[in-house]
């Protein structure tokens, strides 16, 4: 587990009270989440790092769970005590992230402002699904909102900063490695080989071999980056240094109007012309000692002569994460993923988006609680993170809502549960999905998930 706010290690199997020991990777609980959190999980009070959940939206439609409460007050009477119980389980530096759509967003925001205190709001995230609802006669909604709160904003900020991995950093670094590996070789130009093959030309390609230089790699990398659908921040990382590392340049100017000390106005000397380069109007961002260190480390980029103001070099491999934005565009679906597991479920939350949120609001590990677990997406995401080496454990609570035999996919789900020896309800389906996910991860990576089921007593050690 990550260190607590005071720097001490948390007990990897928290036991405060008479509750059962935490399994290595997760609990699956088939129960109403209110009594489950108040009794079964009471010993975890102050231990949960993140509550990430997707409560009923009160849309008026019928899913596998109740989503028509007859009115906003009845809906809030149902949701409010359950989110309050979840808050009580949060660690002092823990956070809540809750999905909601346009039906009850304003009421939930008002309640959570009172529950957590407005000063503990970490922000609202718009999840742009890239697929507007085609309701005639009104604005077509294509987003949901995620409301995010810290149990204590000060404690949260001591250890965490909401961030995410740069979406395309891996591709960019991989492309740079591929191109840099060709430096010094004598390849035949690929476009020439294509023309010879296409037109069956009687040309010896060996006569056209030429040395592939660093400048060739740099030019090809810039062209490749510009051709990708990257955002402006990622596109700025379009340069390769002499070691093949990807970098961008940024201004080193003093960032505000307050004038810095004279030491911040010492000019940099151009390495070729030997003449001083222009100093920013308000001075450098760093004192001369820091500027000398940056020079020695090769982290300052000069222009062709002394007339261009030098800039600082930022390496992509040192800045693989970025601030979590208030808009996340993700239009993907997990229908194919669940089909590959043989688990039917309508409108599952995507594992990829859930993983982004878990990593954004935790510090590399911890306990993640989902009181309205549905098909078990949060548990699935935590298992994948644990299989990749992170120290995540989860608690997934889902009430045992019966599967409706009149709905085709639910009828299939009920048959799956019975065949697997599980109850034919949504919590049983969740357990089967998590079990199959654990089995697939073990098959692919050797990772073994140790899970425990409570209330329904369906889940033991997953070793298949």
Tell me how far the alpha carbon of residue 97 is from its chain's centroid. Answer: 13
Fold of 26-162+334-454: Rossmann fold (3.40.50)
pLDDT exceeds 70 at position 68 = no
pLDDT exceeds 90 at position 22 = no
Of 75-79, 189-193, 316-320, which gets the smallest average pLDDT? 189-193
Higher pLDDT pick, 459 / 336? 336
Residue 197's pLDDT band (cuts 50, 70, 90): confident
Q: In this predicted model, what pLDDT tens digit does every residue of 82-134 receive, in sequence order?
A: 999 999 999 999 999 999 998 889 999 999 999 999 999 999 999 999 988 76
CA angle 256, 261, 265 (to 5 degrees): 85
Higher pLDDT pick, 46 / 464? 46
- Report the pLDDT averaged over residues 220-247: 94
- Report the pLDDT averaged over residues 225-235: 91
pTM of the prediction? Answer: 0.81
The confidence score (pLDDT) of residue 191 equals: 81
At 385, is the secondary structure helix, strand, or coil?
Answer: helix
Residue 13's pLDDT band (cuts 50, 70, 90): very low
**Sequence ranges of the domains in the chain:** 26-162+334-454, 167-248, 251-315
- Token pair 């699935």 in the structure block, residue: 380
The confidence score (pLDDT) of residue 196 equals: 83
The confidence score (pLDDT) of residue 48 equals: 97
Name residues whose C-beta falls within 8 Å of residue 248's C-beta, 6 or more positions apart in sequence: 236, 237, 238, 239, 313, 314, 316
Longest Cα separation, the chain: 83
CA distances from 165 to 2, 315, 380, 389 (A): 19, 15, 19, 16
Residue 199 phi, psi (nearest 5):
-105, 10
pLDDT exceeds 70 at position 73 = yes
Q: What is the CA radius of gyration of the chain?
A: 27
Give CA–CA dist 205/35, Å, rounded: 75
pLDDT exceeds 50 at position 445 = yes
The confidence score (pLDDT) of residue 134 equals: 66
Q: In this predicted model, what pLDDT tens digit does every residue of 295-344 receive, in sequence order?
A: 999 999 999 999 999 999 999 999 999 999 999 999 988 999 999 999 99
* H or E, element range at 214: helix 214-227
At 281, is the secondary structure helix, strand, or coil?
Answer: coil
Q: In this predicted model, what pLDDT tens digit does every residue of 378-432 receive, in sequence order?
A: 999 999 999 999 999 999 999 999 998 888 999 999 999 999 999 999 999 999 9
Give CA–CA dist 62/76, Å, rounded: 18
CA distances from 250 to 113, 237, 310, 321 (A): 38, 11, 9, 17
Residue 357 phi, psi (nearest 5):
-70, -40
pLDDT exceeds 60 at position 284 = yes
The confidence score (pLDDT) of residue 461 equals: 35
Residue 37's pLDDT band (cuts 50, 70, 90): very high
The confidence score (pLDDT) of residue 8 equals: 31
Name which of 428, 358, 439, 360 is nearest 399 in CA terms. Answer: 428
Please state whether beta strands 246-250 and 163-165 pair in parallel, antiparallel, or not at all (unpaired): unpaired
For the chain, the distance separating the N- and C-terminal CA atoms, rounded to the nearest angstrom, is 26
Query: How high does pLDDT run on average in the chain?
Result: 89
pLDDT exceeds 70 at position 463 = no
Taking a C-beta distance cutoff of 8 angstroms, is the pair 255, 265 a contact? Answer: no
Task: Calculate the dihedral angle through the C-alpha atoms of 128, 132, 135, 138, rounding to the nearest 10 degrees.
Answer: 60
Higher pLDDT pick, 67 / 401? 401
- Report the pLDDT averaged over residues 22-48: 92
pLDDT exceeds 70 at position 209 = yes
The confidence score (pLDDT) of residue 140 equals: 87
Name which of 290, 287, 294 is nearest 265 in CA terms. Answer: 287
């Amino acid at each position: 587990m990550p260190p607590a706010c005071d720097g001490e290690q948390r007990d990897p199997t928290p036991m405060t009270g008479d509750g059962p020991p935490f399994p290595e990777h997760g609990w699956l609980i088939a129960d109403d989440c209110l009594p489950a959190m108040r009794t079964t999980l009471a010993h975890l009070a102050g231990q949960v790092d993140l509550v990430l959940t997707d409560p009923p939206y009160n849309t008026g439609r019928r899913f596998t769970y109740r989503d028509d409460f007859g009115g906003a007050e009845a809906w809030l009477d149902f949701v409010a005590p359950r989110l309050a119980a979840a808050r009580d389980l949060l660690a002092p530096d823990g956070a809540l992230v809750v999905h909601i759509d346009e039906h009850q967003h304003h009421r939930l925001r008002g309640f959570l402002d009172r529950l957590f205190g407005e000063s503990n709001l970490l922000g609202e995230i718009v999840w742009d699904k890239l697929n507007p609802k085609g309701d005639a006669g009104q604005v077509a909604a294509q987003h949901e909102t995620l409301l995010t709160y810290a149990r204590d904003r000060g404690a949260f900020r001591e250890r965490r900063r909401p961030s995410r991995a740069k979406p395309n950093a891996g591709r960019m670094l991989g492309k740079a490695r591929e191109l840099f590996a060709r430096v010094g070789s004598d390849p035949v130009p690929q476009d020439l080989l294509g023309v010879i093959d296409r037109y069956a030309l009687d040309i010896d390609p060996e006569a056209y071999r030429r040395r592939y230089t660093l400048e060739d790699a740099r030019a090809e990398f810039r062209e490749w980056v510009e051709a990708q659908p990257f955002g402006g921040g990622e596109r700025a990382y379009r340069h390769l240094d002499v070691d093949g590392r990807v970098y961008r340049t940024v201004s080193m100017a003093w960032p505000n109007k307050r004038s810095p000390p004279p030491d911040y106005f010492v000019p940099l000397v151009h390495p070729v012309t030997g003449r001083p380069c222009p100093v920013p109007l308000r001075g450098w961002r760093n004192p001369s000692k820091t500027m000398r260190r940056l020079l020695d480390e090769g982290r300052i980029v000069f222009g062709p002569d002394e007339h261009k103001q030098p800039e600082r070099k930022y390496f992509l491999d040192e800045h693989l994460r970025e601030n979590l934005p208030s808009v996340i565009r993700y239009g993907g679906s997990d229908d194919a993923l669940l089909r590959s597991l043989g688990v039917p479920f309508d409108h599952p939350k995507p594992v990829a988006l859930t993983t982004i949120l878990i990593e954004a609001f935790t510090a590399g590990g911890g306990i993640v609680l989902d009181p309205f677990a549905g098909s078990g997406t949060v548990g699935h995401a935590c298992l994948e993170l644990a299989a990749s080496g992170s120290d995540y454990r989860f608690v997934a609570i889902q009430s045992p809502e019966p599967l409706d035999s009149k709905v085709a996919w639910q009828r299939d789900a009920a048959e799956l549960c019975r065949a697997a020896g599980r109850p034919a309800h949504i919590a049983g389906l969740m357990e089967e999905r998590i079990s199959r996910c654990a089995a697939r991860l073990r098959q692919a990576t050797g990772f073994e998930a140790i899970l425990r089921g409570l209330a329904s007593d369906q889940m033991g050690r997953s070793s298949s």
